[in-house]
Structure 1
């Protein structure tokens, strides 16, 4: 089920949160496979830079703020105006590293909208578009190792990623044996701007040792997608921690997460997003 490089059958992918980090790296991975791209995020200048690095394929840019209600539907309509979408990469998302009661509701509402509601809305658009299709169709949803347990100081973020994981795995099973495949990727710490934007803590050596590059995660994600995998945790250390947590009580696992992630920084940066 590898993407074709024929101009007549070339596949087309929508990548959200494509202005940096994992999204940008996935865009380059897909471009290397000959997949045409629609890149979306809030920052046009950053998207232009990513588009320039995706050589040999057609790249379109649609700026959108998926943290706003109804933005997903508008994005989908703008995207399919240029042709059908065969691959959907739901990567856009953000989190913060703070006690839940120390953050204003507006930021929480945006997190819920971006990490869950818009992801579900785009997924619904994609699934509806492929109900009668006999051609391969792929969804990749980016979750987190935080999807495997509660994470103090990232309570809402981790909960949103648990939602993404459960939602993705159920969709994968619903569509087993059909041309539509759903893959969930659960990265651990990744070398992106996420940590600075979230006001990340003074991470322990364990957290730092398990951190991977965005390129590593992107390569694992696309390889898993092409193989029709259900859920993939990139990185050996991350795999071990996600497997091992099932042998701990939930309370103890939560306390371990607190030790691994350290304390929040003094100031939470203003929300910028991707």
Structure 2
């Protein structure tokens, strides 16, 4: 009998941690659905050569209802039974960077839609649409220490990540007593200081508050996307995944 696949949906797969996680998850038994605003030709070529079942989708994740509707459509079209279903909420943006006095609706709305509201609506769509599979479901939100400790000039980013942490707590509490066939395990995981394009944006920002990020780069304190992706994938596979809802990969 053919083994049931593990469905894994990942957002923000075109670069950084998302692209690295996708490479790590190109393993037999996994069925990947990757969504991002832009394409990564090298990653798609690697996936094709691996012989894995991977589907690629371009989606503007600042369009919350459209992203949730897309996900419902993808899941409704699936008819094969699943061993498990996982949603990895990795996509995010860091701008606007600056003091609270420069915050405006025109920059706040796209930020909070991408970093908080779309993850919430996609999680809602994911949980509702996977109910019929009667399998273990996991939601992993890539969070940040900035959502747990305020940092000057990053108020929008901190608020979005703090909201994501609380949303994972809410999901976990709602399904704490669910039977095994309806279980949902949710985690908000901070990956630590990673050498990504987002970190480069922080280092290049014209603010003396960003010197901390420049110092981390100069002192070799950053870890690579590949290294943290391996740690995250291992964390996702842990049998106790979900026992600590708000976690940090550096605590493992």
Pick the TM interval, shorter chain.
Answer: 0.7 to 0.9
Contact 1:188 1:210 in 2 (8 A): no
What SS is found at the alignment partner of 1:191?
coil
Q: Distance in 2 between matches of 1:103 and 1:20?
A: 27
Given candidates 192, 217, 232, the residue that maps to 1:221 is: 232
Distance 1:77 1:132, change over 3 A: closer
CA deviation after TM superposition for structure 1 residue 210, in Å: 4.0
- Inter-partner Cα distance in structure 1 for 2:42 and 2:166: 34
Secondary structure of the equivalent of 1:70?
helix
How big is the alpha-carbon RMSD for the aligned residues of Structure 1 and Structure 2? 2.5
Summarize the Cα distance change of 1:134–1:69 in structure 2 as closer, same or farther, 3 Å threshold.
closer
Q: CA deviation at 1:67?
A: 0.9
Query: Which residue in the other structure is 1:196 paired with?
Result: 200
The structural deviation recorded for 1:156 is: 0.9
Distance 2:110 2:176 in 1: 32
Partners of 1:187 and 1:173 lie apart in 2 by: 23
Other structure's SS at 1:113 match: helix
User: 2:140 aligns to what SS in structure 1?
Assistant: strand
Q: What is the alpha-carbon distance in structure 2 between the residues aligned to residue 95 and residue 33 of structure 1? A: 34
- Residue aligned with 2:55, SS: strand
Report the number of matched residues. Answer: 230
Displacement of 1:8: 4.0
1:144 maps to 2:148: no
2:14 is aligned with 1:19 = yes
Deviates further, 176-185 or 186-195: 176-185
Deviations 1:157-193 (A, max 9, x none): 0111011112112322432364321122112221111
Q: Which residue of 2 aligns with 1:92?
A: 91
In structure 1, the partner of 2:43 is: 50
CA deviation after TM superposition for structure 1 residue 95, in Å: 0.8
Per-residue CA deviations over 1:67-105 (Å, capped at 9, x if unaligned) read 124222232134225526811111111113322333553
> C-alpha offsets along residues 121-155 of structure 1, whole Å, 9 cap, x if unaligned?
00001111234543121111111011212111101
TM-score (norm: length of structure 2) = 0.80
Residues 76, 125 of structure 1: 8 Å contact kept: yes
Q: How far apart in 2 are the matches of 1:162 and 1:7?
A: 42
**Does the aligned pair in 1 maintain the 2:28–2:52 contact within 8 Å?**
no
Name structure 1 gaps, 5 residues minimum: 1-5, 240-274
Distance change in 2, residues 1:209/1:7 (3 Å): farther
1:39-73 superposed Cα distances (whole Å, 9 cap, x missing partner): 111113x2x33222232311111110011242222
